[in-house]
Chain A
Amino acid sequence: MELEFDKEIDAILRKNARGPTAAASLNSAHLEPDEIAAFAENALPANARSFYIKHLADCDRCRTVLSQTISLIPEAERVAASSVVDAPVVRLKEPTLFQKLFAMPGLATAMGGLVVVFVALLGYVVYQGAFGVRTDLATAKRPESVAENRTFSDQPAPGANAASNSSNTAANTSAPTITSEGSPLNKTMGQSDVATDQPVIGGPDQKQPADGEKNEVLREEDRSRAAATPAAEPPPAASESVTVAPAPMMKEQPKTADLDAKKLAERKVEDKRDAAKTESADAVTVAKPEQSKDGALQNSVTVQNQNSQNVGGAASKSKSGPYRNMDQQRNTTPASGARSDDEAPANRRAGGKSFAKKDGVWYDAAYRGQPTINIRRGTGEYKVLDSGLRSIAESVGGTVVVVWKDKAYRIQ
């Protein structure tokens, strides 16, 4: 504990300095000048010093001589002597642990460096998010580039791939190549079967349009472009899976346009089957009016435009990660719905259940009009629901009526 100068005791001591307490003396022999001088210069052996301290503390006369001797020492001599004095024995204030820690220059630098690295990392993450948005925007603003690499497939898309696809689109559009396998990133993110082992122009991750409504526009453009480009005309068997090769690539690699469309279509149909088996909750399947021989699964067109958010808006942004994926899927619905207005009543599948949209509400096929438990998303009631039920609700989006364990839930 740091003691403070005691003014009161200081005053009393000064007041009594010339009093009786200062007038003590010893009857023993007084010290000689040699002893006093040696003491004043701190030149006595340590063993002998204690004797002189005791005598000087009690003998007023000798202490006075000592004090006078000390006061007679010239300042220059004192400075020279003090330079010999060791470093402070006791510090005025003991530094705290925090001060000691940061008194180490290396550690302080390291901490500063860590802060810089952390900030840089944070900035990188933010930049990555912004880059993804830019990618989406760039994709949306460059319809020809996207369209060139877009493949509309009737196979169910692994929903988990949506996020990675959005960022990969730009890379692939900027460097269009013929890919025979999914990119390592897509593999990592879980995309497995889409166009693997199949020479597909642009790669599997480029099959996803940038957005919903834009997707429709692009699709029209793609169709017109495909019509104008015989080489890119998809075979009838692949009518549900439109693959449009990029123009530059077609110029560079005309063989690409001549790929066996039938093989491609067959391959994608196989992929679609595999994906349908997985019944991914994230997959959003929009039924098409045309029924193929493969049944309902083949009648659906996988809309992989999870990147579509606020299509025409310049401020469209995509979230990264699974949330972005879900949101994108949710936002896909209106686009699909818009299309379904022109075509047929929309159906969706999620979690092994089929949903039909009536009056803006997705109804579970198992729903028989029983009373519903109304729950809003984000509420505490919603959070305590079974994860499977929540997953279905998130996958379908909007207002959905789900029959779950013999109970009907209306989730808004």
Chain B
Amino acid sequence: MSSVPERYNSTIDESVAHLISRAADKRGLDSGAIRPRIDLAIEKYVLRDNEHAQTIEVKEFIDDMRADDLCLIIACERGDEAAWEDLVANFDGAVKSAARKISSNTEDAEDLASSIWAELYGLRQDADGNKKSKLAYYSGRGSLAGWLRAVVAQLAVDQFRKQSRYVQIDEDREFENLAAEASASSDHHGASDVHNPEERYSESRTAADVSESLETAIAGLEDEDRLILKMYYFDDLKLKEIAGTFGYHEATASRKIVRVQNEIRKAVEKSLRTQHGWSDGEVKRYLSDTASGLGISFEKLLTILVVIGLLQDFWR
């Protein structure tokens, strides 16, 4: 039973009728077949955070829905074989392509794609014997291809996380262990080079302080900034991809990243000084060492070139 307030009924009915009229192939669906799906989408996306949404917002929401994709999915869900054929014919390539991209090998990709179609078809049944299909979760707000890619990604991530548990790489692992691991794996000094126990202890303490400060700094960011930062640094997304997701220009995304960097620097430096008692010199040296640890610094490169030049002059 829909919990959408009755005051929206007339608007929704009109908008649904309009949606059906917009569909190139309504696949024999009427307003009664589509209305429940629309109501769920309105509850989720419109009324959850705004119970007093205006009717115009509801109307615009429905008007922006993908009429053809929604009719296709609902028809498939209702057992329309022709719709199924169209779905497979039109979107199997997209599913397989996504599976290939996200999988490490072809075999895994094939398995992943097969799993997706099984999930979509609803091989599993609930307690009442009804087929449990992922098709029921498509709202029509985004494109069907995008939704299928999200289904592929979700399944792949879940599978990966399940496998990862066997090697004990879990999000619940202890913070200190992770910090030490991250520091040891990428520190340019190299943990193996530090044989002195005191130095090793100092290294681990430094890494822990920095990680804690960093975590605090990131947590203090605005939600959007935090998400952008993580997408950029943790998920290795490109600025163009991030910008497209948020609907602004790539240059804007770049500026946001730079601004977030600035905020994090201030927060980290402040935290290291105040929370962990670092001196200004230690903060500066650590940041500089970390930056130069990712490669040959410009200053070092310049010094090497000067020395080479001097040696050449000397030998002449």
Question: Which residues of A are interface residues toward B (Cβ below 8 A)?
Answer: 3-25, 32-45, 47-48, 50-51, 53-54, 56-58, 60-61, 63-74, 77-78, 81-82, 85-92
Contact = CB atoms under 8 A, between A and B. Distances in A.
A71 B154 CA distance: 13
A19 B291 contact: no
Contact of A25 (B171, B183, B243, B254): B171
Nearest to B238: A71
B249 A87 contact: yes
Top 6 closest pairs, chain A to chain B, by CB: A67-B235, A19-B182, A68-B153, A33-B150, A37-B150, A88-B249
Contacts of A17: 233-234
18 contacts: A3-B261, A9-B264, A12-B210, A17-B233, A21-B211, A36-B154, A43-B141, A43-B143, A45-B46, A45-B57, A50-B223, A51-B49, A54-B223, A69-B146, A73-B241, A85-B244, A88-B252, A89-B252
B121 interface: no
A73 B146 contact: yes
B142 A41 contact: yes
B175 interface: yes
Contacts of A77: 145
Interface stretch (B15-23, B131-139, B191-199): B131-139
A21 B227 CA distance: 12
Interface stretch (B76-84, B94-102, B299-307): B94-102
B241 A92 contact: no
Given A18-B182, A34-B141, A57 B235 contact: no
A24 B187 CA distance: 23
A16 to B, nearest CB: 5
Interface in B138-163: 138-139, 141-143, 145-147, 149-154, 156-157, 161
Secondary structure class of chain A's binding surface, majority of residues: helix
A86 B149 contact: no
B130 to A, nearest CB: 19
B133 to A, nearest CB: 13
Contacts of B230: 22, 57, 63
Interface string B272-294: 00000000000000011011011
B248 interface: yes
Given A8-B265, A82-B240, A57 B226 contact: yes
A9 B229 CA distance: 12
Contact of B45 (A13, A40, A48, A60): A48
